[in-house]
Every structure is written in structure tokens, then in C-alpha cells.
Amino acid sequence: MRLSGAIRKRWRGKRLRVGLVAALALSSPAWLQAAEGTNGLLIAQSAAPTELSPEEQATIAVFERATRSVVFIANTAMQRDPWSFNLFEVPQGSGTGFVWSRQGHIVTNYHVIYGADAITVTLADRTEYKAKVVGADPDHDLAVLQIQAPETALQPVIIGNSQSLRVGQKVLAIGNPFGLDHTLTTGVVSALGRTIKSMSNRTIEGVIQTDAAINPGNSGGPLLDSGGRLIGVNTQIMSPSGAFAGIGFAVPVDTVSRIVPELIKHGKLIRPGLGISLVPDAMARRWGVKGVIIGKVGRGSIAERIGLHGARETVGGRIELGDIIVAVDGQPVETIDDLMDLMEKHKVGDEVTIDYVRGKRRLQVMAPLQAVN
């Protein structure tokens, strides 16, 4: 049977479409496969949902549970209009914090609330509360706020420990970078036992280093282990430009657990010490002294009781150096930071061994520690 030119043309076109469909079905992956619809057009087939791995499911579960404990903190300062002399609030910064107790205690970094005239805390359910500062410790970059919120709205974070941390273990950082909603970054513990400087120029010992991204706004947020337990408070990044460069730091939770109850109870950290004032390190170095020079011994202090001497002026008007502390419990002391760090490993009432130099003699004495400001 001979076909007309028009019929032959339509037949060839139909065969071409059928061949194209067959070729696609044979060569394309499942998510690109297509079928010919009733109108002759190719219709894409929807793919089956991808299954989440057990690790992904665990991470999602930790994030969903932990975000109920994470809060957004806004810091505002009062300024006066130079023309009208009216006072108005100016946003000064923001950061992250987390719920410590059902009594409304919120933990964050000291630098997040530094210089604030007013602080607002936003919970995970978007409710906002005015917060007051309960206590602060600039030396460890920690602060405790309190809000008046219903206990049912407060979900305290699960407290872990930092003693058993291992380099390489997975960690999760939750925060509010740039004022955005809760965000999650993951990484590993890159190093342990790092030392960083706080706003008060004191060293913070035992710091956790992580490659989990800690961006502006993440400060004060929790660093969690894979089980969702708090292991640190995100505090700093190392970057010349201020952008995250793969190195972040967190104050270890063992330090946080020691300091926060003190801040809640006393409003400040009650430190153990000897009741002495010290000569600045720069002056000690200028005099060629290796150790910490006692400048003054407090009246009625432990130092006075155990016979330590401060600097004094001789009859001829010459200054005689005080005793020089060179070790505590066998650990060498070269700077004021060294001494304070060693003291902070103890509690008030603990007894320590003090090695000191008087003249050309090295002496040793046992001393119970007292509470000092």
C-alpha cells in the first residue's frame, strides 16, 4: 500500500518520538526517566524520596532537641540625641545563649552583654523577655542572665563533661549568626588544652578547639557532643578578617559548671587565694626577677598568718622586694596568670604548698586558701 507524502511524514515523526522515549528510558537514571503522555509530550517521573542515613537522623534529632534550649540575645545601649536630648535605645550587638535552669537562668559570653543598658532574650518559641545580669566573669568570658518566664517554656540544656573529650570526635555548634534563626554547624574536636585571652586579658586554660563554624552571633551558644550534651560554650574564632577560617574556640563545660553556680549565688567568681597583692609582671621582668613578687600582705590574711612578706621601705629609703613565689604544688610560677591559674584549680579551704624565695634562700610553706575578690 502506498502512503501519501503527508501520511508518511506523520508516521516518521511518530516513530522518531517513540524511539526517543525508548532511548531515554534505557540510558537515563531513574530520576530522569519519562513517559509519553496522552498528548504526546514527555512527562517527568517523580523519584522516590532519599533515605537518610542513621548518622543524619541522629544529628537531626540532636538539633531538634537542643534548639529548645538555645536562645537569641540582643544587647542595646541608651544614647541621647544631641539635638533633642531625648534618650533612645540603639542596638549594640547580639549573640546566643542557652537555658541553664528552669528558674530562668541563661548562660552566654560576657562579651555578648558587655556595655548593655538593656538585654532581650528570645526563646525558641519566639517569645521575648527582658533579662537582668545575675553575674559575670570577664576573666573566663562567661555571664549569667535571668528572665521571668514560665518553667514550661524553659528547657535546660543537658550538661556533659569535657574531661573525656578526644581529638577527632564529632561536635555540633548551635547559634544565631547574623541574627538569623537557629543554625547548625558540625565538625570535630581539633585540639584540646588550648589557651586564649579573654576581654580582661587573662588567659583561659583548657580551651576546646573545633573546626565547626563559629560565626558572629554564635558567641555564647552551646558546643555539643554527638549525644546532644553540652561540652563547651562557643566564644572566639581565629581570623584576621573576622570571618570563620576553620578555627573556633569554646570554654570547656567543666570550667562552666564550676563558675556558673558561683555567679548565680554570689554574682561573681569567689576565687581561692592567699590575701596578697602582687607587683606587675612588667616590673618584675625589669628587675630581672623570675617569679611573682608579693607587693603587700593583707592584714589578717592567710599570707600574714604563714609569715609571707611584702615589699617594704628600709630606714635608708630603699625599697626591699617582698617574697617571690616561684611554685605552687610543685608547678612553676613565672607570671601572675600562672599563679591565678594554679589557684583556680582549687577551692577555698584547700591546702597548697607554696615555694618562695626570700633574699637568696628558697623556702617552702603549707597554706590553706581563703576567699579573695
* Residues taking part in catalysis: 111, 141, 219
What residues are paired with 159 via a beta bridge?
Answer: 230
Which cell is 348 given? 577555698
